[in-house]
Amino acid sequence: MKRTVYFAALAALVVSCNALAVGGIAQVTIIERSSGVELTPHLYRGEYWVAGTPGANYAIEIHNQIGERILAVPSVDGVNVISGATAGWNQTGYVFDPGEGYQVTGWRKSDAEVAAFTFTASPNSYAERTGRPANVGVIGVAVFRERQPQAVYVPPVIAPAPEPPESARASKRQPLNAATRSDSAAAQTSTPPLHVPPVAMTAPKLGTGHGEREVSYVNLTEFARLQPQPNEVIRIRYDSFDNLVAMGIVARPHPTLPAGNPFPASGAEQYVPDPPAGSMGQLQ
């Protein structure tokens, strides 16, 4: 049975269920790393959008929600974040143990280093700089469940009957006729054969730049997918706040105006005021 090697995160962190996350088998949250703020997903015409801040580094936090291992193949702007290839479902990804989560913080450069994800104008995005601008502004995670080892049927072992005494054998010696031969053949073929079940196989648009190098360790593991197609595909689009407002995805908050005072020269109370701050007068 062929297995393919995928990256697995070493420093996995456990995170709780999050109201700002998107997904079912896995939950995905976009986090602005400098502030630790989880970006709010806005549902608009069947798609989730988040507002990124130009110049800010961000992370894709993925959390396994089920009791078995999963493979998550992440893409940013249509590019696989591990290999740098134009993203496809059948490519390399991160493997998560049950209940584990991990922050994918950048484009993987080696087993020990990434280049940080940075919100930037689309002409500066990694995808556009490498000639692939068509899908700038979308983050995707394809989730696969693991194919479990198949049980092998082993037929029961039948012990031979004990030999009868010599006198009984002598009395029963006779030529084997056709009917007896046929019955014996039927008995021999009645035992089920060994069977292995078959294995199921307005402003510039915001993009993601190739930021500063950072330490990020992974190792290699094996993972057999339950099926060729993902069990879940999570898609989150992003752009600047101003662009989301211009597109009608997010309503611009109304400014908070100062409360007016119709009698500014009239105090609330007319009592002795406190003395001004400073040193106390010396005794005469």
In a domain, 173, yes or no: no
Locus of tokens 């990256």: 7
**Mean pLDDT, to the nearest integer, of 6-12?**
60
Confidence at 166, pLDDT banded by 50, 70, 90: low
Residue 180 main-chain phi, psi, to 5 deg? -65, -40
Dist CA 249 CA 272 (whole Å): 55
In a domain, 266, yes or no: no
- For the ranges 61-75, 159-173, 257-271, the maximum mean pLDDT occurs at 61-75
Reference 127, options 85, 99, 163; nearest CA is 85
Give me the number of domains the chain comprises.
1
Better-predicted residue by pLDDT, 275 or 146:
146
Q: Does residue 161 sit in helix, strand or coil?
A: coil
Dist CA 93 CA 220 (whole Å): 10
DSSP state of 242: H
In a domain, 47, yes or no: yes
Query: Which residue intervals of 146-281 are DSSP H helices?
Result: 166-172, 178-189, 241-246
β-sheet bridge partners, residue 28:
22, 62
Q: List, for residues 42-68, the tens digit of each pLDDT value.
A: 999 999 999 999 999 999 999 999 999
Interior angle at CA 58, CA 74 and CA 144, nearest 5: 20
pTM of this structure: 0.70
In a domain, 104, yes or no: yes
Q: Which two tokens stand for residue 55?
A: 């110049």
In a domain, 258, yes or no: no
Domain range enclosing 212: 4-148+202-246
Percent of the chain clearing pLDDT 90 (strictly above): 60
In a domain, 177, yes or no: no
In a domain, 73, yes or no: yes
Kindly report the number of other CB atoms within 10 A of residue 277's CB atom.
5
In a domain, 43, yes or no: yes
